[in-house]
Amino acid sequence: KNQVMQHFSEYKLTRYNLLMRGFRITLIRQRMVPRMVMVLKQQKLSIKLEEGL
């Protein structure tokens, strides 16, 4: 009975770690995406400016 509980707690821990890792990855992605969009917009703007000159 004790072994089962130990196994269950380990299982819960690994699931928790996986969830946290996934959560962290999504957070990083959410931060990265707007930055990428900004960079792309800036690049497009600079290209337009260069074409205008």
Return d(Cα 24, Cα 18) in angstroms, integer: 10
Prediction pTM value = 0.45
Structural domain that includes position 17: 1-53
Q: How do the pLDDT tens digits run along the chain, 53 residues long?
A: 788 888 888 889 999 999 999 999 898 888 888 888 899 999 998 888 888 76
As for how many domains the chain has, the answer is 1
Instruction: Tell me the C-alpha to C-alpha distance, in Å, between residue 22 and each of 12, 16, 26, 36.
Output: 15, 10, 6, 20
